[in-house]
Structure formats: structure tokens, C-alpha cells
């Protein structure tokens, strides 16, 4: 049994990008893996020929050519269903993994059986030149996870290792109703089943391009993340055996937060209330009155000010 199943979906990424991305996986210092590549564009002959050439040289590659374009979410589910590894390693067709990425993530996951998902830091290139490290502390990830914004996700999606036994046990996969934000939806499922962590180092080069799905389908992304956050709050309340109401709103959450003696996590509740306020259904004036009424809510003044400015600019 292989330990790692790397899963990649290819649609229309330039061939030179594909070469860099595929080589970055094949040249990993950790070698016990299978590499599942789903070609979700049966007319992309150049990519098909390229990947078939890679297959001839490296038996670890399995290529599946879809009969028609089914979209990233379904393609990833197809790849994960075929995976035989203990861990699913995500990889995008336009990014570049550092050579030690698999080795370091395998070591970490093997030493920490409580971790369900492990990511790493990223350095961006192409349209930006900066670095992001993600939270490594599982307790902080659980506390602050609920923010309806995919850019504040607990992981950089193409860096993650996912423990496949958890996916299989609970029959979890990417929600195929979501064309975008499918990763955010998956974290919403898995956060209740184990712990999240990230390695405190950069192990992937993340390409920024005008073709990214987040730019082309931003409206769909916003709608999906708003749905996911509301679902996340409801799930959390159910887990904590807090009676649900028809309309889960920030005011309701603050009422819960005031019951500290009952063991509710004040910071977690504040994070969820702030997350709900980022939904577009809450206007500037609702948000302003909420902060004035609940001045002790555990959210920094800077974050409050930023949210109000974005409400004025109608970004939320």
C-alpha cells in the first residue's frame, strides 16, 4: 500500500506550467506515492500527449481522461475515489511543490494521528510576490475557523495532506453543488472530525494568474462561502447541543456567548458572530449597531473598522 496519493486535475493550464508542476511532484525526496492526474478537458490534445509521455517514463502516474468537462469539484472527487494511499495530497496543475514537501508532511502526519488535515505555507509568484504561513496550532484553528472568506481559509488548498481513513469512514468528499469554494466546504465537514494544522514553512510556490477561478467566478464564490459559514455555525451549535432557531444571527450568538458559566467558548462565539456579519445580508447599519450594542465582543477594533469600511464599499 502506498502512503500518499497525489491528486491533480488538469483543464487548460499552459503546457509549460504543467511540466513544472508535474516535475515538482515526480522529483519529491519522498518517493512512495501514486500520482493521479484527471484530465478534465478531452480536447486538450497537447496536455494529453505530454502527460502520456510522463506516464511512459514513470509508473507512479495514473492518468484518467474524462469524456467531457465535469468541473474541478467532480474531477477531484473522481481522483480521491481512485486513491489507494493513506493520505490524499492535493496539487494544482499550475503550482510548484518544493522537493521536500511530501517527506515533511508524511513525517508530521505519521507522528500526529490526531491531525486530519495538514497544510503548509506558500510563496506566491506570477502576479504577486509574497509569502503566507498558516496557523499551526489546532486549537486556534478550531476557535477561529468560521470566517466567510476563502482567503481566510485555514489552509492553502493545493498544499494539504488529508487523512483518507476519515474521508472513507464518514463518506466525505467535496460538495459537488459548489463550483467554487469546494475546499472551504470540505474544511467545514472535517473540522468536527479531527484537528487541523500547518507546517511552519513554505513548501509550495502558488501561481497567481488572471485565469484563477477566484477572479472569474467571484460572485459564485461569495454566495458559496456565505452558505458554508451559516452551515458551519449550525453544525457547531448542534455539536455543542445548543438549541437551534430558524434564524441563526449574530445577536443570537452573542446571547450564547454571555452564558460563559455554561462552558461556551467566548472567543469561538465572537469569531462566528463576526463571520456572520461579513455576509451580505447584514447591512452597514446593522453591523454598526451590533458593534455599538456589543462593545465587549472579542474582536479587535481594527477588524471592526475594516469590516465597516468594506460594508460602505459594498464588498460585503
Per-residue pLDDT of the chain (316 residues; tens, 9 = 90+): 789 999 999 999 999 999 999 999 999 999 999 999 999 999 999 999 999 999 999 999 999 999 999 999 999 999 999 999 999 999 999 999 999 999 999 999 999 999 999 999 999 998 788 999 999 999 999 988 876 666 678 999 999 999 999 999 999 999 999 988 899 999 999 999 999 999 999 999 999 986 655 555 778 888 888 999 999 999 999 988 888 877 889 999 988 887 765 566 788 888 899 999 999 999 999 999 999 999 878 888 999 999 999 999 887 7
User: Are 161 and 256 in the same domain?
Assistant: no
Q: What SS3 state is found at 148?
A: coil
User: Are 186 and 69 in the same domain?
Assistant: yes
User: Are 207 and 252 in the same domain?
Assistant: no
Q: How many domains does the chain have?
A: 2
User: Are 150 and 249 in the same domain?
Assistant: no
CA distances from 198 to 146, 160, 162, 182, 280 (A): 17, 9, 12, 19, 30
Residues comprising the chain, all counted: 316
User: Are 280 and 202 in the same domain?
Assistant: no
* CA–CA dist 14, 210 (Å, integer): 13
Q: Give a yes or no: residue 229 inside a domain.
A: no
Q: Give a yes or no: residue 174 inside a domain.
A: yes
**pTM for the full model?**
0.91
Which domain range does residue 179 map to?
A: 4-216
User: Are 40 and 168 in the same domain?
Assistant: yes
* CA–CA dist 167, 144 (Å, integer): 23
Last-in-domain residue among 216, 250, 281: 216
Query: Which residues does 223 contact at the CB level (< 8 Å), separation at least 6?
Result: none
Amino acid at each position: 500500500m502506498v502512503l500518499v496519493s497525489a491528486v491533480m486535475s488538469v483543464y487548460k493550464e499552459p503546457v509549460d506550467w504543467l511540466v513544472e508542476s508535474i516535475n515538482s511532484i515526480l522529483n519529491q525526496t519522498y518517493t512512495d506515492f501514486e500520482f493521479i492526474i484527471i484530465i478534465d478537458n478531452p480536447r486538450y490534445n497537447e496536455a494529453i500527449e505530454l502527460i502520456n509521455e510522463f506516464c511512459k517514463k514513470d509508473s507512479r502516474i495514473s492518468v484518467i481522461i474524462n469524456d467531457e468537462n465535469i468541473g474541478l469539484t467532480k474531477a477531484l472527487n473522481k481522483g480521491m475515489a481512485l486513491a489507494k494511499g493513506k493520505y490524499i495530497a492535493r496539487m494544482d496543475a499550475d503550482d510548484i511543490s518544493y522537493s521536500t514537501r511530501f517527506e515533511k508532511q508524511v513525517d508530521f502526519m505519521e507522528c500526529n494521528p490526531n491531525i486530519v488535515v495538514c497544510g503548509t505555507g506558500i510563496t506566491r509568484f506570477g502576479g504577486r510576490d509574497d509569502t503566507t504561513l498558516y496557523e499551526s496550532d489546532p486549537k486556534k484553528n478550531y476557535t477561529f475557523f468560521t470566517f466567510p472568506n476563502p482567503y481566510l481559509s485555514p489552509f492553502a488548498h493545493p498544499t494539504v495532506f488529508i487523512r483518507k481513513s476519515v474521508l472513507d469512514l464518514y463518506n466525505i468528499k467535496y460538495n459537488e453543488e459548489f463550483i467554487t469554494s469546494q475546499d472551504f466546504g470540505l474544511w467545514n465537514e472535517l473540522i468536527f472530525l479531527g484537528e487541523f494544522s500547518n507546517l511552519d514553512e513554505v513548501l509550495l510556490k502558488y501561481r497567481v494568474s488572471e485565469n484563477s477561478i477566484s477572479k472569474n467566478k467571484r460572485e459564485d464564490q461569495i454566495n458559496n462561502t456565505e452558505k458554508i459559514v451559516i452551515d458551519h455555525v449550525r453544525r457547531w451549535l448542534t455539536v455543542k447541543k445548543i438549541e437551534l432557531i430558524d434564524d441563526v444571527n449574530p445577536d443570537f450568538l452573542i446571547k450564547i456567548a454571555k452564558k460563559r458559566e455554561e462552558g461556551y467558548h467566548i472567543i469561538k462565539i465572537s469569531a462566528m458572530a463576526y463571520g456572520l456579519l461579513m455576509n451580505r445580508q447584514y447591512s452597514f447599519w446593522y453591523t454598526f449597531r451590533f458593534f455599538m450594542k456589543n462593545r465587549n465582543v472579542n474582536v479587535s477594533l481594527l477588524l471592526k473598522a475594516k469590516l465597516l469600511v468594506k460594508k460602505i464599499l459594498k464588498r460585503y
